[in-house]
């Protein structure tokens, strides 16, 4: 037998084996973003102090770009084929920064990494950020964020507060995202307004 005749089957086998190891091309996940808050009470004071926003912290279950849901109080799952536009803490830091800027009351606010000398540091801890699909009202977007204001350079906690909102979701993923947008909007509005007033009062002293 001609030795060259054995080469063709061998090459085909190698190609098949190598292709079997390649990842399959699937549909890209749908990406969703949320809106910063843009409307605030008109009587909020102007804050001229430098404010730095730390990267928010959260649990391992929420530290992801996947959109979380709970089918029961103690179990986390994730919606299939959908993602946030970025990792949740990073996305929230951006939305929080834009919300402060939209208030028109904090001209000197930025991310912690970009503020050279901060008078105040705002810490945020994402406690809830999932769609709860259990209980009588299901599903619903559940958002709860705890804030701490730290006076610098003393590194002393000035005040702390937690803000939460739950919004019933409509049908499908779009209904869930709309509910998240409304719930987060309520939390951002409360958190930014509270921060501005507490920092302004402390700076005035």
- Residue 89: pLDDT over 60: yes
For residue range 93-104, what is the model confidence (pLDDT) as tens digits? 999 999 999 999
Euclidean distance between the first and final Cα of the chain, in Å?
Answer: 98
* Percent of the chain predicted with pLDDT > 70: 87
Distances (CA, A) of 124 to 23, 48, 90: 38, 21, 12
Res 26: pLDDT:
66
Q: Which structural domains are found in the chain, ordered by start?
A: 44-204 (3.40.50.10610)
- pLDDT for 24 equals 54
Residue 9's pLDDT is what?
45
pTM for this model (two decimals): 0.85
Q: What is the pLDDT of residue 138?
A: 82
Buried b (16+ CB within 10 A) or exposed e, 33-47: ebebbeebeeebeeb
**In the predicted structure, residue 127 carries a pLDDT above the cut 90:** yes
- pLDDT at residue 136 in the model: 82
pLDDT in tens, 131-162: 999 988 889 999 999 999 999 999 999 999 99
């Amino acid at each position: 037998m001609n030795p060259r005749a054995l080469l063709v089957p061998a090459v085909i086998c190698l190609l098949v084996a190598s292709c079997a190891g390649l990842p399959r091309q699937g549909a890209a996940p749908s990406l969703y973003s949320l809106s910063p808050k843009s409307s605030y009470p008109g009587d909020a004071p102007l804050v001229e102090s430098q404010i730095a926003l730390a990267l928010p912290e959260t649990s391992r279950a929420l530290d992801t770009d996947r959109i979380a849901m709970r089918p029961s109080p103690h179990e986390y799952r994730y919606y299939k084929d959908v993602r946030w536009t970025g990792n949740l803490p990073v996305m929230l830091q951006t939305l929080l920064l834009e919300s402060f800027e939209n208030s028109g009351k904090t001209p000197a606010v930025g991310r912690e990494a970009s503020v050279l000398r901060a008078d105040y540091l705002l810490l945020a801890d994402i406690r809830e950020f999932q769609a709860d699909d259990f209980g009588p009202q299901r599903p619903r977007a559940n958002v709860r964020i705890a804030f701490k204001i730290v006076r610098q350079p003393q590194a002393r906690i000035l005040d702390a507060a937690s803000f939460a909102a739950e919004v019933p979701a409509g049908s499908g993923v779009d209904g869930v995202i709309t509910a998240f947008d409304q719930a987060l909007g309520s939390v951002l509005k409360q958190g930014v307004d509270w921060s501005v007033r507490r920092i302004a009062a402390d700076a005035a002293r």
